[in-house]
Structure 1
């Protein structure tokens, strides 16, 4: 597996654990529908939360939220629609982005963008 793929998977695991510690309940990881994928799916306070995780080893090339473009959002929405249908979900939903950042000393920090798009 390429190094960036491994970093992305590790970031997803770190983000999932971080959100679980905040009270989120994990339903699915790497949910796929066609070409679309959702990194993490949670429930939180009667919400179904779809989470896109972005890893950055610094901010020199931009922040995590800047890398979820129109095309990526469209794919996430398509997969979310399918997940909602499959699970007969009829309550509110939310789309979040979690940025996972490694600073120069190797420490991991998180930035959570709730209701980032729709």
Structure 2
């Protein structure tokens, strides 16, 4: 596996652990449907939440949320629709973005954008 894939998987695990520590329940990771992949599927306060995780080693080239373009959003919504149907979910949903940032000293920080799009 390429190094950027390893880094992405690590960022997803760090984000999942961080969200679990905030009371979220992890339901699925790397859910795939067609060409789309949802990094994390979690539940929190009766909401089903589809989360896109983006890793950045700094903010010099922009923040994580800026890298979720309209094409990616459409793919995520399509995969989420399939997940909802597959799991027979009838309650509310939300799409979030979690930015995982590692500074020069190796410290990891998170930025969580709730209800980022739909």
> Which of the five TM-score ranges fits, normalised by the shorter chain?
over 0.9
CA distance in 2, matches of 1:25, 1:6: 23
C-alpha displacement of 1:3:
1.1
C-alpha displacement of 1:2:
1.1
C-alpha displacement of 1:94:
0.2
Query: TM-score, structure 2 length as denominator?
Result: 0.99
Partner of 1:110: 110
Partner of 2:86: 86
Unaligned runs of 5+ in 2: none
Matches within 5 A, 1:89-100: 89-100=89-100
Partner of 1:27: 27
CA distance in 2, matches of 1:18, 1:106: 16
CA displacement 1:73-93 (0-9 Å, x = unmatched): 000000000000001100000
CA distance in 2, matches of 1:115, 1:107: 26
Answer yes or no: is 1:46 the counterpart of 2:46.
yes
CA distance in 1, matches of 2:106, 2:33: 35
Query: TM-score, structure 1 length as denominator?
Result: 0.99
* Segments of 4+ moved more than 2 angstroms: none
